Amino acid sequence: MEDHATEGGNNLPHNPQEEPGALAPDEEVISQQTVQFLDDSLLVLLTASDRLYISLPNLCAALTLNARGQLQRIQRTPGLVEGLRLLPARTRGGTQRLNCLWLEKLPAWLSGLHLRGTKQASRAKIKQYRDQGVTEITRLFYAAESPALPMLPIQGTLPFPATETVIESSIETMMTLDPTLTTLPTVTPDQQELRALMTQLPYIPTSESLVTTSYQEDRAIREATLARKVEWEEEPEFQRMRYIASNKLHVYFGDPDHPLELNEALERIRSLGESTILTARILLGLWNIRRCERQLAKDGSAAIRVDEILEWRGVQKHSRTYSLSEKRFSDGFQWKHKQQVFLDVKLLEHCYLRGHHTVIVRGRAQRFRINGPYLRVTSVEKVKTGEQSEIVGYFIAPGAWINTYEEHGNIFFAEIDRRVFQLNPQNDQLALRIALFLTEHWRQHARTGQYAHPMVMRDLLTASMIPIDTRHLTNRFVPRVEAALMKLLEQGVVGEVSLLTPIDKQKAHWGRDWLASEWRILPPSSLISRYLDSIQSELPEGRRRRTSY
């Protein structure tokens, strides 16, 4: 069902090059929704650059501001005019071009208003828009994009910067499917022992990288969490959903022997995404650090705090100032950020694997059957009052699938740059997906050192779980992919990005040549050196050698 704005045009010229804030040549509106925030109907547009823009006439009407005066103020303010666009929108009067403001500029715009003579009620409303607008409007937009997901309020209303992790509507879905996210069970005697172990955790600062598992099972889970939901299939003979990974491992959501109802399984599958796999990599990276520390582990599981996961994700703690003080004080991570962790861990806990994996035993490849959960998870709860409690951490371990690897000395760990964990799952989606694949790819070539072997672009995209947008291949998709690669290069996540087969972008249908082009994508030299040292240390002294790269 289409959304229609409740406003008309703003009678501005129709040549985008003649108007400040015009639609940039490489931008295109790909979706629009009308959301209800503080009883106001607001038109929100999503562009091809993955930015959300909000109708300026809507905003001014909601806040009883003069639209023309505010447009002029934005146009003469350097920090604001860069967020102004003239975008086409569907309205009751047809498609019209409206002045829209980049949503992330909303707090800066409202902070610059002169409120003398403004009624107290209007001031309070403007403050709500300034403090909560970015977070809530973003959430409402993406919830409206998936109308099948139920809408429930997210606890907590404190503001946080839009560049931090955005809480998706899938959290509300999981709260309805699994009430334990809001009402947790009472503490048992075993929990007291687990809590005591949790309090002994030392503070581990976020280093430049995290060494985490990189097995066949990890690849299958990455592909399943990032796959389009239509790529999950219903097994012909059973009422259960599965995803078949590229290595032929089958991923199920829920125990396949006791499958969830199809509707429930589909709702949970829709909740999977970039945040889920990032949490998985962090959990098993921290498990790898602590599993041999007797005081920090129990039955093979390692203790991990919720706030450690958020720190690795780069989420900032909320801070505030108190009266008569200019100093800011932190009051911890917001509840909505913790909810994202609860959701991710709950999803991972219900991922099951079936199939075979190959292990080298005494120099010969042997296949072992696997059938069980991806992770073993035990929640650790902190008692508050009465029967109410809050999850403060987890005891985490890989499923039994890892045993045959370790029993026969098949150890596969990959190093992931800290900056990968801090990529925005929405704004940096392509860069994030490519980076996660490359960490696995480089680990596979660590022993041979053949990092420079060319990769075909189509294969890179497929392995990174990036669907190819054939309808907008050359005008939108190619620039976005190349921009994602450049971002990884600029941030130092990759050491080199080179196109090996030049492409004539002046000829017709050059997109097919681009998909078939070969690229060389190298890891940073520091990572190559660390992998080389690690591999050399595993070899007998007589076999140690320098590998040519």
What torsion do the CA atoms of 333, 337, 342, 346 make, to the nearest 10 degrees? -150
From 362, 396, 421, give the residue that closes a domain: 421
Is residue 343 a part of any domain in this protein?
Answer: yes
Q: CA nearest 220: which of 201, 240, 247, 195?
A: 247
Is 281 within 8 Å of 212 (Cβ atoms)? yes
Q: What angle do CA 36, 39, 44 make, to 5 degrees?
A: 30
**Quick one: 403 and 473 in the same domain?**
no
**Phi, psi of 238, deg, nearest 5:** -135, 150
Structure tokens at 77: 């303010």
**Quick one: 123 and 175 in the same domain?**
no
Which residue's structure tokens are 């080199």? 496
Amino acid at residue number 286: L
Is 268 within 8 Å of 177 (Cβ atoms)? yes
Highest mean pLDDT among 250-264, 310-324, 512-526, 533-547: 512-526
- Write the pLDDT tens digit of every residue in 333-353: 888 888 999 999 999 999 999
**Quick one: 311 and 191 in the same domain?**
yes
Q: What is the pLDDT of residue 53?
A: 92
Highest mean pLDDT among 85-94, 336-345, 518-527, 532-541: 518-527
Q: How confident is residue 192, by pLDDT bands cut at 50, 70 and 90?
A: low
Q: What angle do CA 242, 243, 249 make, to 5 degrees?
A: 105
**In the predicted model, what is the mean pLDDT of residues 356-370?**
88
Which helix (H) or strand (E) covers residue 343, if one does?
helix 335-349
Is residue 58 a part of any domain in this protein?
Answer: yes
Is residue 8 a part of any domain in this protein?
Answer: no
**Quick one: 216 and 354 in the same domain?**
yes
Sheet (strand 94-102) strand order: 29-37, 40-47, 52-55, 94-102, 84-91
**Quick one: 295 and 384 in the same domain?**
yes
- Alpha-carbon distance 138 to 256, whole Å? 36
Sheet (strand 297-298) strand order: 297-298, 301-305, 389-398, 375-383
Is residue 448 a part of any domain in this protein?
Answer: yes
Q: 259-295 burial string, b = 16+ CB within 10 Å, else e?
A: bbeeeebbbbbbbbbbbbbbbbbbbbbbbbbbbeeee
**Quick one: 201 and 270 in the same domain?**
yes
pTM over 0.75: no
How far is residue 225 from each of residues 16, 70, 220, 284, 401, measured CA to CA in Å? 40, 44, 9, 16, 19
**In the predicted model, what is the mean pLDDT of residues 515-531?**
94
**Quick one: 459 and 538 in the same domain?**
yes
From 372, 389, 421, give the residue that closes a domain: 421
Amino acid at residue number 186: T
DSSP per residue, 449-464: T-TTS-EEHHHHHHHT
User: Across the chain, what does the average pLDDT equal?
Assistant: 79
Task: Give the bridge partners for 37, in sequence order.
Answer: 40
Is residue 159 a part of any domain in this protein?
Answer: no
Is residue 357 a part of any domain in this protein?
Answer: yes
Is residue 155 a part of any domain in this protein?
Answer: no
- Alpha-carbon distance 287 to 303, whole Å? 7
**Quick one: 488 and 545 in the same domain?**
yes
**Quick one: 412 and 284 in the same domain?**
yes
- Write the pLDDT tens digit of every residue in 247-284: 999 999 888 888 888 888 888 899 999 999 999 999 99
Neighbours of 494 (CB within 10 A): 23
**Quick one: 415 and 486 in the same domain?**
no
Residue 491 structural domain: 428-549
- Count of structural domains, the chain: 3
Q: What is the pLDDT of residue 109?
A: 92
Q: How confident is residue 162, by pLDDT bands cut at 50, 70 and 90?
A: very low
**In the predicted model, what is the mean pLDDT of residues 409-427?**
92
From 390, 421, 452, give the residue that closes a domain: 421
Which residue has better confidence, 151 or 406? Answer: 406
Length of the chain: 549
Q: What is the pLDDT of residue 159?
A: 26
- The beta strands (E) that lie in 362-499 are given as 364-373, 375-383, 389-398, 413-417, 455-456, 496-499
Is a pLDDT exceeding 90 seen at residue 188? no
List all residues 6 or more positions away from 291 whose beta carbon is below 8 Å from its beta carbon: 297, 300, 301, 302, 397
Q: What is the pLDDT of residue 177?
A: 36
Q: CA nearest 442: which of 495, 480, 401?
A: 495
**Quick one: 103 and 202 in the same domain?**
no
Is residue 195 a part of any domain in this protein?
Answer: yes
- Write the pLDDT tens digit of every residue in 14-28: 333 333 444 444 467
**Quick one: 236 and 304 in the same domain?**
yes
Q: What is the pLDDT of residue 327?
A: 58
Highest mean pLDDT among 134-138, 425-429, 462-466: 462-466
